[in-house]
């Protein structure tokens, strides 16, 4: 079953509305780049890889809408569009990676007529979409061997088809392991405050017929102590050069619990999530979101007036708690500064290219 998280269509960029799942499967089509920026900000689309491709498509859309009459005007407009996309969410580095890739493409088109620039940017964004799925498939192939032959695998937040252009990063590894015949049962932390686990991970896994149990975030320790969890696998929003991992708030707690119970803790992320310019996790900007996400659920107040609230969207898991990082070019093990930089410097993995060529 293919979930189409986001797609370039003849009428605009179409997103499945992740704020409405699991009770309503509805779609939003954006016709301007400002609308794309809004759906990223409001988490209609979320997940680091999906945000990156959404931003690229937003840029392509903005340039397609351009009526610039000179190369200079187009360039100014292009940079404004990129700036708008870059101001949506600060933590996921894939956003900035995608913007840089579109900027590089744009610069390569100097002197080319507007219509061709527009088409080339649309093609680039669509190519990134196709690559993302191929990368996830490659990560699945690389990471499946890490999964247990049978048993429970805990995941936090949603690092699935809905967080990417399809198949998923962490859930891609789970899917690949199941395709290889492994007998996995996914435990999904509900992941307050946005409930990506109960609303999104559960929705896409149930759709795929993968056995899934939803638990409140504060149950994971007790479930691990009962011996039900054989491995943890999560996605990432930014991986620092030293292997520190920024991911959905609560990931750090899960990593500590995993170590306490002798359970391996894996991160699955494309190399576009690795940020060699961020030396360690302390330097990753952590987005603070609207307190209303904590104080209200389904529009209803769950806290008294006058109470304070914190709502960091992410936390940083130190590299020392990470057993391995699965990427499309292979598995990084500690020390990560070395293993990640080798993978970053490496050639594009043949299996990704092969998958793309076969399409």
Q: Using CB under 8 A as the criterion, which residues of the chain lie in contact with its own copies when the complex forms?
A: 22-23, 156, 189-193, 195, 198-199, 202-203, 205-207, 211-223, 225, 249-250, 252-253, 256-257, 260, 294-295, 297-312, 315-316
User: Which residues, listed in sequence order, are joined to residue 267 by a DSSP beta bridge?
Assistant: 234, 325
- 3-state secondary structure at position 52: helix
Query: From CA 135, how far away is CA 357, in angstroms rounded?
Result: 13
For its own copies, give the closer residue by CB, 291 or 348. 291
Strand 300-301 versus strand 265-268 pairing type: unpaired
Detail the DSSP E strand segments found in 91-207: 150-155, 183-189
Query: From CA 332, how far away is CA 126, in angstroms rounded?
Result: 28
- Give the shortest CB-272-to-its own copies separation in angstroms: 25
Query: From CA 134, how far away is CA 356, in angstroms rounded?
Result: 6
For its own copies, give the closer residue by CB, 115 or 307. 307
- Give the shortest CB-46-to-its own copies separation in angstroms: 16
Detail the DSSP E strand segments found in 146-299: 150-155, 183-189, 212-215, 229-234, 238-240, 245-248, 265-268, 274-275, 296-297
For its own copies, give the closer residue by CB, 228 or 337. 228
- Give the shortest CB-121-to-its own copies separation in angstroms: 37
Q: Of these residues, 132, 189, 217, 237, which one is catalytic?
A: 237
- Give the shortest CB-255-to-its own copies separation in angstroms: 9
Distances (CA, A) of 342 to 119, 153, 339: 34, 29, 5
Strand 274-275 versus strand 238-240 pairing type: parallel
Distances (CA, A) of 209 to 93, 173, 206, 311: 32, 16, 5, 33
For its own copies, give the closer residue by CB, 85 or 316. 316
- Give the shortest CB-264-to-its own copies separation in angstroms: 17
237 is catalytic: yes
Q: What are the φ/ψ torsions at residue 10 (nearest 5 degrees)?
A: -65, -20
Q: How many CB atoms neighbour CB 226 within 10 A?
A: 10
For its own copies, give the closer residue by CB, 31 or 183. 183
Query: From CA 359, how far away is CA 349, in angstroms rounded?
Result: 16
- Give the shortest CB-351-to-its own copies separation in angstroms: 32
Query: From CA 287, how far away is CA 244, in angstroms rounded?
Result: 17
For its own copies, give the closer residue by CB, 131 or 190. 190
- Give the shortest CB-12-to-its own copies separation in angstroms: 28
CB contact set of 69 (below 8 Å; sequence gap of 6+) = none
For its own copies, give the closer residue by CB, 217 or 328. 217
Active-site amino acid positions: 237
């Amino acid at each position: 079953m293919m979930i189409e998280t986001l797609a370039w269509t003849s009428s605009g960029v179409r997103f499945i509305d992740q704020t409405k799942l699991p009770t309503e499967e509805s779609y939003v089509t954006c016709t301007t780049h400002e609308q794309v920026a809004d759906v990223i900000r409001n988490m209609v689309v979320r997940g680091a890889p999906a945000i990156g491709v959404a931003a690229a498509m937003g840029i392509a859309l903005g340039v397609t809408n351009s009526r610039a009459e000179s190369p200079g005007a187009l360039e100014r407009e292009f940079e404004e569009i990129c700036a708008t996309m870059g101001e949506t969410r600060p933590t996921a580095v894939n956003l900035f990676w995608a913007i840089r890739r579109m900027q590089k493409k744009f610069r390569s088109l100097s002197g080319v007529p507007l219509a061709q620039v527009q088409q080339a940017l649309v093609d680039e964004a669509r190519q990134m979409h196709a690559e993302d799925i191929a990368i996830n498939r490659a990560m699945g192939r690389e990471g499946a061997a890490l999964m247990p032959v049978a048993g429970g695998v805990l995941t936090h937040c949603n690092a699935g088809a809905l967080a990417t252009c399809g198949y998923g990063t962490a859930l891609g590894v789970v899917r690949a392991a199941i395709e290889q015949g492994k007998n996995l049962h996914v435990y999904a932390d509900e992941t307050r405050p946005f409930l990506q686990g109960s609303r999104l991970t559960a929705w896409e896994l149930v759709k795929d017929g993968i056995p899934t149990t939803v638990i409140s975030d504060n149950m994971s320790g007790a479930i691990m102590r009962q011996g039900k969890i054989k491995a943890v696998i999560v996605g990432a929003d930014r991986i620092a050069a030293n292997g520190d991992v920024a991911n959905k708030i609560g990931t750090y707690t899960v990593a500590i619990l995993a170590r306490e119970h002798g359970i391996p803790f894996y991160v699955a992320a494309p190399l576009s999530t690795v940020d060699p310019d961020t030396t360690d996790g302390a330097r990753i900007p952590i987005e603070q979101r609207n307190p209303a996400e904590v104080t209200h659920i389904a529009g209803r107040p769950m806290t008294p007036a006058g109470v304070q609230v914190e709502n960091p969207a992410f936390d940083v898991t130190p590299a020392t708690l990470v057993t391995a990082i699965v990427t499309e070019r292979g598995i990084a093990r500690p020390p990560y500064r070395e293993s990640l930089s080798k993978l970053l410097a490496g050639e594009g993995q043949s299996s990704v290219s092969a998958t793309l060529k076969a399409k």
